[in-house]
Each structure stands twice: as structure tokens, then as C-alpha cells.
Structure 1
Amino acid sequence: MNEMVNISRTDYFPTMVYQFDLPDPDGLNAQLIDLIYREREADKLGVTKSNTAELGSWHSNTNLHKSKDYSAILSHIHEVGGHISDELGYARDHELSVTTMWSIINPPGNGNRMHVHPGAIWSGVYYVQTPEASGDIEFVDPRTALLMNQPKYLPKRKRPRNCWTKVNYKPVAGRMLFFPSWLYHGVDSNMATAPGRNADRVIISFNINQVKKK
């Protein structure tokens, strides 16, 4: 068998997903649960975007970041944004700041359609309440060519990560994910069987842009 020499490989254009787990999130999550259900009580219709409102999914307005009630979670989001700015070498006269933020309650049977977030650099989700089987978030390969004409792989063998065409994250209460706003993503239907509103999947989502430092 001849050895192949002088072969090198370089990977370009990565799709980055950041994960951050808050330490001891239970107290904060309890506060957020109360706030979010109060928001729904005050605005029962909410808005319709990627959520399945016709099945009972509720989506708040997108200005939660302007309320002092959400300052604690906003502080954590900006902390992660600062880390990303430093790691990726973003301009130091700008900072990553939340420009829209909202909450979603997905009762059993509800999910979120595949979508992107125009007009932002980064988007993210913070998991407030995540009963078992409440719906994974799925990211899909943004490279259309590979979705249209996929190569064949060895059967019953896990593909290298660089060859995946989708990836799923199980929701975990107290966990935050950041991902590029152009990355297509959706949420599986909530199949939780817990009693009452304990079966609801409750999240806070947000968009982030660079803003000039004051």
C-alpha cells in the first residue's frame, strides 16, 4: 500500500455555537417564570413569528430588554457577548449589545418553524423551564449545495463532525446558546407530559448587534 504524502487539510468558514451554563440558575429562573406568565396574562394574543400560535404557542413583544425586570438575565447575556467580542477580535470601540429580546411559552404540541433572524449578528436562547421531551433546537447546515447533493458515507458509522448537515441541542434550564443570526434553526414539538404549566417549554430569546460604545 502506497502512503500518500504531502497532503494537508485546512478548514475554513466555521459555524460557531457558544454555550454558557449559568451557575445556580434556579432563583433567577423562578423570577423569570413569574415575569413571563405575567406578560402573557397582560397580552394574551402576543405576536406570531416562528411560533405555532394557532396551536397555543405564545410569543411576547420584542422589547423585554428595555425593562429593568429583566436586567439580571440581560447582564449574563452581555457578559457572554463581551467574551465573544474579545475572543473573535471585534473592534474595541464597539460592543455586542441586545437589540431585541422576547419570551416564548410552548405548551405541549408546540414548536418553532425553521427560521433565521435578519438584521442581527448573533442570536441566542436562554432556557428558563425545560421539562423532559419539551423540544430540541435544531441547526441545519447553511451550505445549500451539501443539502442538495450529499455524498454517501459508510453505513452504521458516525460521520466526522465537519460532515454533519444538522445538529440538535437538548434544552437545559439555566443554559444559554449563542449562534450566528443567519443560521437556520427550528424547535421540535413539545412532547412533555408533566402536569399543568410544568409541561410548558419556556425560553427567552434575543438578537445582538455591535453598537458604538458610549
Structure 2
Amino acid sequence: MALRTLFVTPIYEASLTTDRFFENFNAEILEACRMLEAEDSAGRAWCREHGYGGYTSYASLNDLPQRASVFGDLKSRLDRHAKAFAQALSFDLGGGRLKLDSLWVNVLKPGAAHTGHIHPHSVISGTYYVETPPGASALKIEDPRLPLMMAAPPRRPDAPEEAQPFVYLQPSPGTVYMWESWLRHEVPANRARTPRVSVSFNYGWR
């Protein structure tokens, strides 16, 4: 008997902790995130209006790499990883390339969550994790075939990771996750006593 695994859903995982001066770099990003949370009144207003538990610059600021040099440094690092992921995915980009379209800060307060969603009009999406206190939310990834399974039985609890309908990825400071933007994902309720801080991003094809 042969069992072939087809139509896999790759998740790219890397860590920036091996970079020189990581501790200073990550501390500077955290400081920049806190500064934006304090100063971005439009972002805080959007969060209140849309019930976001904490702060995000998603709907208010689109120039973070120009606004603070540390976000420019982060972009340079992410560009290298996005290129490696695209190669691993065997993308044929023709004469184009992947370009960072958006970069935004997330400060998820205790008890808050981010419901399931995808990132339309993007190719690769992901998150860099700045601060993940004990109890901080994992990244919950959903099997994209779920809407088509209809009468399929559930998987056993001891099923291998690649057979599970949901996988929970637990990041630490410095972790980078990337995935194809059509993949549905969510952030369960933050069980930490302090906020979970991250920087998310999208790459488009230009």
C-alpha cells in the first residue's frame, strides 16, 4: 500500500534570535510599539469602534518602515525570509517579485482575541512576535479543507499534526511565522496577565 500526502499547506517558521544584537533590536521594536499605542489616537479610536481588545495600527498607519528605523530593519529581515519562503513554495513570479504591502502593530490585551480571518489580495502573510508573556495566545491555523469535509468523521486526538483540523503554533519573542494569505487563522483569547505584542505583515506580487 502507498499513502501519498498531496496538497500540503506549508507554514514557514524562523527565529530572529540568532541575529546579532537581537536583544537590543527586539527591545527597540517593543518600545516603538508602545510609542505608537500611546500616540496613535486614530488607531485607538478604530479599536474602540471595532471592538479590538487592545491596540492595532492596522487601520491607521501604513508607513511604519519610514516612521521608525527599527521597523525598516525588521522589513529588511522579513524580506529575506519571504524570498526564502517563496522559493520553497515554488512560486513562478515571472518578472515580478514579492513586495511588503503592509506592516502593522498588534497589542492584544489580556482576555482579548482575534477571530478567524484570511488576508485577501495578498500572497504571503505573517507575524513577528515581540513579547509573548506566559499564557499568551498561540496562532491557531485552520485546515483549509474544513468547509468541504461535510460528513467526514472527526480526527482522533492522537492524530499526527498534519491530520489535525486545527494546529496551534506557540511563538516566543523573535519567532517569525509566514503562510499563504488564503489560509484561515485566528488568535484565541490571550490568557496572559499582560499584553501580547506582535507585528503582522502582508506581501503582494508586483
User: Normalising to structure 2: TM-score of the pair?
Assistant: 0.85
**One-letter amino acid of the counterpart of residue 87, structure 2:** D
Which whole-Å CA distance do the structure 2 matches of 1:161 and 1:203 have between them?
A: 25
Q: Which moved more, 1:119-128 or 1:10-19?
A: 10-19
Which whole-Å CA distance do the structure 1 matches of 2:37 and 2:103 have between them?
A: 15
* Correspondence 1:59 to 2:56: yes
- 1:152–1:166 distance in 2 versus 1, CA, 3 Å: closer
**One-letter amino acid of the counterpart of residue 11, structure 1:** T
Which whole-Å CA distance do the structure 2 matches of 1:210 and 1:153 have between them?
A: 36
What secondary structure is seen at the aligned counterpart in 2 of 1:46? helix
**Aligned ranges 1:14-93 → 2 under 5 Å:** 14-22=8-16, 23-24=18-19, 25-46=22-43, 48=46, 54=51, 56-60=53-57, 61-63=60-62, 64-69=64-69, 70-87=71-88, 88-91=90-93, 93=95
Shift of 1:209: 1.2
Shift of 1:191: 1.4
- 1:150–1:31 distance in 2 versus 1, CA, 3 Å: same
1:13 alignment counterpart = 7
Where in structure 2 are there 5+ consecutive unaligned residues? none
Which whole-Å CA distance do the structure 2 matches of 1:159 and 1:74 have between them?
A: 37
2:134 alignment counterpart = 132
Write out the 4+ residue segments of structure 1 that deviate beyond 3 Å after TM superposition: 51-56, 65-68
Whether the 8 Å contact between 1:59 and 1:103 is mirrored in structure 2 is yes
What secondary structure is seen at the aligned counterpart in 2 of 1:83? helix
Which whole-Å CA distance do the structure 1 matches of 2:189 and 2:52 have between them?
A: 11
Q: Which moved more, 1:85-94 or 1:104-113?
A: 85-94
Of residues 96, 99, 102, the one that matches 1:100 is: 102
User: Normalising to structure 1: TM-score of the pair?
Assistant: 0.82
For residues 112-145 of structure 1, the C-alpha deviation after alignment (integer angstroms, 9 at most, x for no partner) is 1111111101100000011011111101111112
- 1:124–1:153 distance in 2 versus 1, CA, 3 Å: closer
2:179 alignment counterpart = 179
Shift of 1:68: 4.8
Whether the 8 Å contact between 1:26 and 1:174 is mirrored in structure 2 is no
- 1:166–1:52 distance in 2 versus 1, CA, 3 Å: farther
Where in structure 1 are there 5+ consecutive unaligned residues? 1-6, 194-198
Q: Which structure would you say has the larger Rg?
A: 1
Which whole-Å CA distance do the structure 1 matches of 2:42 and 2:204 have between them?
A: 28
